[in-house]
Amino acid sequence: MKILRPFIVLIRLARESMTFAYQAITANKLRTFLSLFGITIGIFAIISVFTMVDSLEKNVRDSLQSLGKNVVYVQKWPWGGNEEYPWWKYMNRPQPTIDDMEEIRRRSNLTEAACFNVGFRQQVKYQRNDIPDVTIYGVSTDYDNIRSFELAEGRFFSPFELNAGRNLTVIGHNIAKNLFEGADPIGKTIHLGGKKLSVIGVFEKEGKSAIGEDSNDDLVLIPLEVAKSMVDFRRNGPWIMVKAKPNVDVADLMDELRGILRSHHRLKPLDDDNFALNQISLMKDSLDAIFGSINFAGGFIAFFSIIVGGFGIANIMFVSVKERTSQIGIQKALGAKRYFILIQFLYESVLLATLGGAIGLLLIFVGTILINNFTDFSIYLTLSNIVRGILISAVIGIASGFVPAWIASRLSPVEAINTKA
């Protein structure tokens, strides 16, 4: 029992302190509301910033992931586009060809999969329904081994169907919704550029891409052999996707591809490359620095909102100590220790802060539901941000309530009893 006695005392102290804090908070509802309002706005601001940044980062990284992990894009134009982009240097470059892809497949030792792609836009029709200017991708084999996607219905092309140029198609969620209006699209025939294509699959809905890439929701995939009769590859910017084997560094793959393509294009040692090797992982590396800066700036701005809420609680606690000076004197005259008075007021400030923080988190949660239901942008209130909000609230409660609580604990019983509020 002697061992448990300190714990029993602590439990009783916590319970009595919580009771006093609850009574003080409910006694003056207007003051409590004003305190809660300040901290609610503060937590709402700072966790909203973190939630928006985290959600944006997740959406961007997911969009990049869908483009393929450890993938090199062989294209005419290098990725870039700022005001210093030397576009005139690349104007006369040839477009990637199917022969380039076959050469990579034949000679590369570091390649797991390679796929030739061409994109164009055209009207798609089904009976009386039509969608103008739809993004069409003609793809070769290995597309499904490089790009990351899920199918809601049906299946993907088989290698035989792609090589044979069968009149088949896999369509996006929005295409299926607008063309078939709720009917099962599998097995139905759509019209594309004078061709009749049978629908064999529908992509899972994924929402808009955060990096401006064409979303699978609005995409129509057809075999490359079918696309050959519909579009001029030289004018539509084809590209080759090359995926590295497991445990192969992408930089090593790029070096190998550069050697293969320079040899295939018969370039002399001093000639510049007449192709571009673009890499997703370079964009991923830059994202860490970008989002780190955004998080710092957002946190710095939201910090001032927290300061406002903290000062509000501190001000209310000073008023509370002033109003309850006589009560504090009576408690101390009856034997209450300084730490009991200190903990009593700290409980009150922490309770106010965490309650305000919880309300702020609830508002954010409601906001995420509304945004997810009425927009194409996905917002995620993560467990880490919930815990972060509660911890920040508790720290603010302790920091803003400590000085008033310490002053209350140091009051003389005689002076406190004789003091008029």
Q: What is the pLDDT of residue 236?
A: 83
Joined tokens for residue 67: 């483009």
Q: What is the pLDDT of residue 276?
A: 93
Do 299 and 410 share a domain, yes or no? yes
CA distance 164 to 226: 9
Question: What Rg value do the Cα atoms of the chain yield, rounded?
Answer: 32
Do 190 and 116 share a domain, yes or no? yes
Q: How far apart are the first and last CA of the chain?
A: 43
Do 23 and 162 share a domain, yes or no? no
pLDDT at 27 > cutoff 60: yes
3-state SS string for 131-162: EEEEEEEEECCCHHHHCCCCEEEECCCCHHHH
Domain boundary among 274, 294, 329: 274
Instruction: List the domain range (segments joined by +) for residue 290.
Output: 14-63+286-417
Q: What is the pLDDT of residue 419?
A: 63
- Residues 209-240 pLDDT 10s: 655 566 889 999 999 999 998 988 878 889 99
Within-domain flag for 87: no
Q: What is the pLDDT of residue 285?
A: 60
Residue type, 417: I
Within-domain flag for 223: yes
Q: Which residue has the higher pLDDT, 8 or 122?
A: 122
pLDDT at 361 > cutoff 70: yes
- Residues 47-76 pLDDT 10s: 887 888 788 777 777 766 666 668 999 999
Q: Which residue has the higher pLDDT, 274 or 279?
A: 274
Average pLDDT over residues 160-185: 94
Average pLDDT over residues 188-207: 92
Q: What is the pLDDT of residue 407?
A: 80
Do 267 and 291 share a domain, yes or no? no
Q: What is the pLDDT of residue 2?
A: 57
Q: What is the pLDDT of residue 12?
A: 67
Do residues 63 and 207 make contact, with C-beta atoms less than 8 angstroms apart?
A: no
* Cβ neighbours of 223 (radius 10 Å): 23
Averaged pLDDT of the chain: 82
Q: What is the pLDDT of residue 381?
A: 85
Residue among 411, 404, 231, 418 at smallest CA distance from 321: 404
- What's the CA angle centered on 114, arms 112 and 120, to 5 degrees? 155
Q: What is the pLDDT of residue 314?
A: 79
Do 257 and 294 share a domain, yes or no? no
User: Which of 250-264, 311-325, 381-395, 397-411 is least confident?
Assistant: 311-325
Average pLDDT over residues 132-148: 93
- Residues 277-322 pLDDT 10s: 988 766 666 666 676 777 777 667 667 767 777 777 777 777 777 7
Within-domain flag for 75: no
Domain boundary among 220, 244, 274: 274
Do 170 and 44 share a domain, yes or no? no
Within-domain flag for 5: no
What is the number of alpha carbons within 13 Å of residue 266 lying toward its C-beta?
0
Q: What is the pLDDT of residue 115?
A: 96
Q: What is the pLDDT of residue 321?
A: 75
Joined tokens for residue 29: 């509802």
What is the number of alpha carbons within 13 Å of residue 80 lying toward its C-beta?
13
Share of the chain above pLDDT 90, in %: 37
Do 290 and 270 share a domain, yes or no? no
Do 270 and 302 share a domain, yes or no? no
Within-domain flag for 314: yes
In total, how many domains does the chain have?
A: 2
CA distance 215 to 36: 43
pLDDT band at 415 (very low <50, low <70, confident <90, very high): low
- Residues 71-117 pLDDT 10s: 999 999 888 655 577 778 888 899 999 999 999 999 999 999 999 99
Within-domain flag for 369: yes
Within-domain flag for 84: no
pLDDT band at 42 (very low <50, low <70, confident <90, very high): confident
Do 107 and 189 share a domain, yes or no? yes
Do 295 and 261 share a domain, yes or no? no
Residue among 306, 408, 405, 393 at smallest CA distance from 347: 405
Do 260 and 311 share a domain, yes or no? no
Within-domain flag for 308: yes
CA distance 276 to 284: 18
Do 296 and 369 share a domain, yes or no? yes
pLDDT at 9 > cutoff 80: no
Residue among 41, 38, 46 at smallest CA distance from 314: 38
Domain boundary among 208, 243, 274: 274
CA distance 144 to 140: 10
| Cα dihedral value 306, 307, 310, 314, nearest 10 | -170
